[in-house]
Amino acid sequence: MKQIFNNEILDSLKKDSFIDKKLFLRELILNANKSVIKLEELKKEKIFINELKEYKGRIEVYFEPSDQSITVVDNGIGFSKDQLIELTKTSDILAVFLVSKNISIISKKIGEDTAYKCKIQNGEISVNSCVNEEYSGTVIYIKLEQEFAESFTNIDKLKSYINEFINQINIDLFLSYYEDFEEKIEKLN
């Protein structure tokens, strides 16, 4: 494990009432959108022809109230190991730390054979190779702090937050959840 953030700084930021805690969701979805657009550009340029033959970009947001978690999934360009480590140093991921207990990211970059899992908890990071199917993309699982779980695992509030920036999303965006033990998937744009 490698320390990436000072916990005292994170705790101070978490208490700052001027920081918009919804920012993490916007950043993750907009980054997923960019990732899918990059892969669609490669498809247009006829790069990775076999891998992208039937490619259709999409983003899914899953939420699970009983687990107090939210997950953002895209089938975009993905991250290499080095890119994944660099991602953890950006302000994009810092916004996620403000609402989370821990974060797990699984990503596979297009054209690479290995996927990587990055686990971030208590300001420490570990990155290891892992099994992933053939496709590229990224899965970001966020275990929310108790005080944010209700807001970000409530369908109406989540839709309201996403609607604040939905016009910036060019890729099909879906919201997935369980209702009465049945999976529901709603297209949001």
Q: Where are the beta strands (DSSP E) in 5-133?
A: 58-64, 69-74, 100-108, 115-121, 124-130
**pLDDT surpasses 80 at 15:** no
| Superfamily of 2-187 according to CATH | Histidine kinase-like ATPase, C-terminal domain (3.30.565.10)
pLDDT digits (tens, 9 = 90+) for 60-90: 999 999 999 999 999 999 999 999 888 877 7
pLDDT at 65: 94
The three-state secondary structure class of 143 is strand
* Predicted confidence band of residue 8 (pLDDT cuts 50, 70, 90): low
Query: Is the confidence at residue 122, as pLDDT, over 80?
Result: no
Closest by Cα among 76, 86, 90, 79 to 35: 76
Extract the tokens encoding 69. 């978690």
User: Who has greater pLDDT, 15 or 155?
Assistant: 155
Segment 119-131 mean pLDDT: 85
Q: Which residues, including other chains, have CB under 8 Å from residue 188's CB and lie 6 or more apart?
A: 159, 162, 163, 166, 173, 174, 175
Least confident of 13-22, 120-129, 166-175: 13-22
DSSP string covering 159-188: HHHHHTTGGG--SEEEEEEEETTEEEEEE-
Q: What is the pTM of this model?
A: 0.89
